[in-house]
Chain A
Amino acid sequence: MKSPIPAPPAAPDRHRVRVGYVDTDQAGVVHHAAYLGWMEAARIEHQRARGLVYRDFELETGLALPVVEAHLRYRTPARFDDELIVESWVIEAGRAKVVYAQRVVRGEAVLVEGRIVLACVDMKEERIASMPERILTACAR
């Protein structure tokens, strides 16, 4: 099956996570939904590293960046107590959306690859809005 994302850059952002007991299912492997939470945390850290504190952004602008599309490919399972790295990089950023590519890796093994699309919404008016310049600037760094 074709990967949903392009090859990573030379040095993608890396966010470390440790698999908790709570993240595993009856089959003894990480539940598929757990990866989405780790990938979200990794994106927030990716933005923080570029000067954008997401909580402040929401409070100051009344805007939010919800996930509107998530395409994940699960290749190899992770297990309790594994140390994982979530790699994140932006592959597209424009007025309508920001597209992240992310990989969850354990050592050299790629466990999950994902393409995550974020839109921008005005929380008060409950409508789609254009991606603000501060987001696009942070994504370009």
Chain B
Amino acid sequence: MEGDLKEKLRAIIAEVSEVDEIPDAVPFKDLGIDSMMAIEIVAEIERTYKLSVPESELKRITNLDSVYELVKEKLAA
């Protein structure tokens, strides 16, 4: 189940960013994913999972692992 979530998030991030390979721990900035694209990714995740990520939590988004942790928390809340 958790693996499914991470793979779905990986797919969303790859689709929005148009970056083919999204490793778990590599910083987005090293993949060419800038802060504006990160907001687009968050917006797509909000739509997909019907959750809300407040502005103050955007800075947590640095790589796939951090997105996964954030979404997992939101879905459990």
Contact = CB atoms under 8 A, between A and B. Distances in A.
Interface residues on B, range: 10 to 19
A96 B58 contact: no
Interface of B: 34-40, 42-43, 46, 55, 58
Interface of A is mostly: loop
B40 A96 contact: yes
B35 A130 contact: no
Interface of A: 68, 94-97, 119, 127-130
A96 B42 CA distance: 9
B43 A129 contact: no
B58 A119 contact: no
Contacts of A128: 34-36, 38-39
A130 B35 CA distance: 10
Contact of A129 (B37, B46, B55): B55
A119 B43 CA distance: 14
Contacts of A96: 36-37, 39-40, 43
